[in-house]
A and B are shown apart, each in its own frame.
Chain A
Amino acid sequence: EVQLVESGGGLVQPGGSLRLSCAASGFTFSSYSMNWVRQAPGKGLEWVSYISSSSSTIYYADSVKGRFTISRDNAKNSLYLQMNSLRDEDTAVYYCARDRRRSSSNWFDPWGQGTLVTVSS
């Protein structure tokens, strides 16, 4: 069974840092690009970051560029999101999601269960 399990969320003060992890199983992790998507409480979905299978291509949403860093360890079947200089507006459930692609179309499947990050003093 394809499974993604996030961890590392919690309460952090504004300006603080947090590192999220996503453990993958049930598929060949090293063959797939991965994403982080977040959802603020009661709000919609916001894509955060993308990393290709070999880590050669990385993208960020403008809202997190320069503060967040995506990375992966294919030997450990793990995806990471290092979040620095956290702001109140970064409060959200963070999901990791596998990237699926057909020609120029991409979608996210599956998603993990999410980990809650709360930025508050």
Chain B
Amino acid sequence: DIQMTQSPSSLSASVGDRVTITCRASQSISSYLNWYQQKPGEAPKVLIYAASSLQSGVPSRFSGSGSRTDFTLTINNLQPEDSATYYCQQRGTFGQGTKVEIK
């Protein structure tokens, strides 16, 4: 089975910062990697699919990149409402999550 490893597990950043979260696959998964945002008490929602495609309605400060084994979710100009846990996903496997807190 393919393992997905996210880093860091948590981070704290200020409003306006650029935040980068990485997801590494244990073997090549081409561009089959998606990113989700989950706020406390809410269901997850997709932000990025197929590594770099922005889901409709998601602010353009979110972007995804990468291929094969290494992927990145970038949040530019971090906003207070971006405080959440972010997960990568490939088929039936999720990363362990990255909790983003606002300083």
Contacts and interface: CB of A to CB of B under 8 A. Distances in A.
A108 B31 CA distance: 16
A23 B95 CA distance: 28
Contacts of A114: 43
**Majority-rule SS of B interface residues:** loop
A50 B49 CA distance: 18
Interface of A: 44-47, 50, 59, 61, 95, 100, 102, 104-114
B79 interface: no
23 contacts: A45-B36, A46-B94, A47-B93, A47-B94, A50-B92, A59-B92, A61-B92, A95-B44, A100-B46, A102-B49, A102-B50, A104-B30, A105-B30, A105-B32, A105-B33, A105-B50, A107-B50, A108-B36, A108-B44, A109-B45, A109-B49, A111-B45, A113-B43
B94 A44 contact: yes
Given A105-B34, A106-B32, 13 more contacts: A45-B36, A45-B44, A45-B87, A47-B91, A59-B92, A95-B44, A105-B31, A105-B50, A107-B49, A107-B50, A108-B89, A111-B45, A114-B43
